């Protein structure tokens, strides 16, 4: 299973923080992962496990079994795919292919995947987690091959990156 590591730069207040009245405020209970979430994580993160079948048939079978969860758990599926893209860079192409297959089953899936991917990319750039940001950018480029993203929009996205990089007054590291 893939879990996001705890960062020392996490700005969330915790009950033990000094001078915090956080523990007295109403908060959402932290629930353990449900059986369904664990099942989805195992299915999706095991995308490249060795088997007697081809990668193509494994991906089609996985997309077929995830198709039933797309209606109720699309957000969780997207979260898991993005986590896997960040931590399993060798499998980015497999995850983009899976995203293309799932997008063909439910059109809104691709839109939501892009929205959440761009949100996570922004978070990674702000937190200077450039390796994971690179994995997400690679994933977005790979989504062109799966007809989830148009090539024109990807070029516009890259041009936006270049404009931001060339702005005056922005320190170049």
- Residue boundaries of the structural domains of the chain: 34-45+54-165
Task: Supply the DSSP symbol for 171.
Answer: P
- Tens of pLDDT, residues 13-72: 444 445 444 444 444 444 567 888 888 998 898 887 777 888 888 899 999 999 889 988
Query: What integer pLDDT is reported at residue 63 of this predicted model?
Result: 92
Residue whose entry in the numeric block shows the structure tokens 């599926």: 77
pLDDT tier at 173 (50, 70, 90 boundaries)? low
Task: Supply the DSSP symbol for 72.
Answer: H
Pairwise CA distance, residues 162 & 25, whole Å: 44
Tokens of 153: 């929009």
Task: Supply the DSSP symbol for 91.
Answer: G
Pairwise CA distance, residues 171 & 173, whole Å: 6
Query: What integer pLDDT is reported at residue 11 of this predicted model?
Result: 44
Task: Tell me the fold of 34-45+54-165.
Answer: 1.25.40
């Amino acid at each position: 299973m893939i879990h996001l590591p705890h960062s020392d730069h996490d700005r969330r207040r915790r009950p033990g923080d000094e001078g915090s009245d956080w523990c007295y405020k109403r908060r959402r209970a932290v629930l353990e992962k449900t059986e369904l979430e664990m099942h989805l994580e195992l299915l999706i993160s095991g995308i490249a496990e060795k088997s007697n079948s081809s990668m193509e048939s494994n991906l089609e079978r996985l997309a077929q079994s995830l198709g039933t969860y797309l209606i109720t758990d699309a957000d969780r599926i997207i979260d898991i795919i993005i986590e896997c893209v960040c931590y399993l860079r060798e499998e980015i192409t497999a995850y983009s292919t899976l995203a293309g297959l799932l997008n063909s089953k439910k059109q809104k899936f691709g839109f939501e995947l892009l929205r959440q991917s761009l949100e996570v990319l922004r978070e990674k750039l702000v937190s200077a987690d450039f390796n994971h940001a690179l994995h997400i950018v690679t994933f977005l480029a790979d989504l062109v091959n799966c007809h989830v993203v148009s090539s024109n929009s990807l070029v516009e996205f890259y041009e936006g990156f270049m404009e931001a990089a060339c702005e005056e007054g922005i320190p170049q590291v």
